[in-house]
Chains A and B, each alone.
Chain A
Amino acid sequence: MARHPVRVLRPGSAVQSARKFTEKHEWITTENGIGTVGISNFAQEALGDVVYCSLPEVGTKLKKQDEFGALESVKAASELYSPLSGDVTQVKEALAENPGIVNKSCYEDGWLIKMALSDPSELDDLMSEEASEKYVKSIEE
């Protein structure tokens, strides 16, 4: 039986799926088959000030859980993993000049890549925002 992601309607915007999360603290929202990927508030806080974003080129083909780049902070580079499978269609260019946007606005302006999804059903394997919050609480000291 097909399951659909919960649809959230915002005034004046196209239908967009609710945010879903991986266990590695990346999030994805989807709209018309295009996924937007970023890192969670938990992740940006854990990183500290992001000083550099290493992101893939447009056209890169990613499988779910493939490493697609890294974020650097405090002499530490943290790898990023693709929540879903697809082709990279856009990279957030502004992060090259202003990597700190990831810290300031991890769910809005601080998105990292957009991708054309090759298998939207993979969304079912990801956690809802609520499940993600529970998961984060369970792994915190």
Chain B
Amino acid sequence: MPLPAVRLLWLGRARYSDLLALQEQWLRRLQVDPRPGAPSGTEAGALLVCEPAGPVYTGGLRGGLTPEEITRLRALGAEVRATGRGGLATFHGPGQLLCHPVLDLRRLGLRLRTHVAALEACAVRLCELLGLRGARARPPPYTGVWLGERKICAIGVRCGRHITSHGLALNCSTDLTWFEHIVPCGLVGTGVTSLSEALQRLVTVDEVMPSFLVAFQETFKCTLISEDSPS
């Protein structure tokens, strides 16, 4: 039986609002219940990947940012956005690989919890492929991928009608000082790190992308397909 196909949409440097708009489009498309006998050759979802063009702080379903914090963060020149994903506050910005898999869990044989586990496994596998040992997932409330006591990859997802949205944010060459202005994921006293910090050299999102796609296909057991022209 062939592996399910997932459409790869690499946006390059993109505004967070553009990523969300594209995510919405795919959610609407995938959440319509398939008619009986819909061809199984169609995509099981889309993998939206980008490098955020500018600094953005986001909160989740529970919030995670007070009005005072939001004012302060905007004064720093960052966008601040609410989302419906799980998890509390986090940061997205240049140097980060931001990935939103919009997937039909049924087509990938996943449940919500195994989807989260697959996202963690993907980030761990990517670190391995880059020669970085010691990256690991941790159980709740420390969901995410860690190097020692520092988080290298944040995770937060949403699921409706079997379709996932949001996903993971992996620090490649992110300016980590942006994280000092929040309590990342609401975990007081924890730190963040990046591939560049861990490998002691500049590791860009562009360099990481090919390995990321290999890791994703491996951990989600799917095939990524792409068109020549951007969507």
User: Interface on A for B, CB 8 Å cutoff?
Assistant: 24, 46-49, 51-52, 54, 67, 70, 72-79, 81, 141
B contact patch SS: loop
Range class of the B interface residue count: 20 to 34
A76 touches B113 (CB 8 A): yes
Q: Do residues A49 and B140 form an inter-chain contact, with CB atoms below 8 A? A: yes
Write 29 A-B pairs (CB below 8 A) sorted by A numbering: A46-B113, A47-B113, A48-B113, A48-B140, A49-B140, A51-B62, A51-B140, A52-B62, A54-B62, A70-B61, A70-B84, A72-B60, A72-B61, A73-B86, A73-B140, A74-B86, A74-B113, A74-B140, A74-B143, A75-B116, A75-B157, A76-B86, A76-B115, A76-B158, A76-B159, A77-B61, A77-B85, A77-B157, A77-B159
Closest to B139 in A: A74
Q: In the assembled complex, how far is the CB of residue A96 from the closest CB belonging to chain B, in whole angstroms? A: 11
Tell me the B67-86 residues at the A interface (CB within 8 Å).
84-86
Q: Are A75 and B144 in touch, CB under 8 angstroms?
A: yes
Q: Is the CB of A75 within 8 A of B113?
A: no
Interface string of B153-175 (1 = CB under 8 A from A): 00111111100000000000000
Verify B140–A52 contact, CB threshold 8 A.
no
- Which one of A54, A70, A76, A141 has the greatest number of beta carbons of chain B within 10 Å? A76
Majority SS of interface residues in chain A?
strand
A46 pairs with B112, CB closer than 8 A? yes
What chain B residues lie within 8 Å of A67 (beta carbons)? 160
CA distance A122 to B159 in the complex (A): 25
In the complex, which of the residues A51, A52, A54, A74 contacts B116, with contact meaning CB atoms closer than 8 Å?
A: A74
Within the complex, what minimum Cβ distance (angstroms) separates B167 from chain A? 10
Chain A residues with CB under 8 A of B12: none
Contact in complex: B86, A77 (CB < 8 Å)? yes
Residues of B within 8 A of A52 (CB): 61-62
Which residue from chain A places its CB closest to the CB of B119 in the assembled complex? Answer: A75
Contact between B116 and A76, CB atoms less than 8 A apart: yes
Residue of B nearest to A52 (CB): B62
Pick the contact of A77 from B84, B140, B141, B144 — CB < 8 Å? B84
B62 touches A78 (CB 8 A): no
Q: Are A75 and B86 in contact (CB under 8 A)?
A: yes
Name the residue of chain A whose CB is nearest to the CB of B168.
Answer: A75
- CA of A69 to CA of B61, assembled, Å: 10
The yes or no answer to B150 lying at the interface (CB within 8 A) is no
- Closest-CB distance, A57 to chain B (whole angstroms): 16
Which residues of chain B have C-beta atoms less than 8 A from A141's C-beta?
109
Whole-angstrom distance between the Cβ of A78 and the nearest chain B Cβ: 5
User: How far, in whole Å, are A54 and B61 apart by their CA atoms in the complex?
Assistant: 8
Q: Residue B111 at the A interface, CB < 8 A?
A: yes
Known: A24-B161, A70-B61. 20 other contacts (CB 8 A): A51-B62, A52-B62, A54-B62, A67-B160, A70-B158, A72-B62, A73-B140, A74-B86, A74-B113, A74-B116, A74-B143, A75-B85, A75-B87, A76-B115, A76-B158, A76-B159, A77-B61, A77-B84, A77-B157, A78-B112
Give 7 closest A-B pairs by Cβ, nearest first. Answer: A79-B160, A75-B86, A75-B143, A77-B86, A77-B61, A75-B87, A76-B86
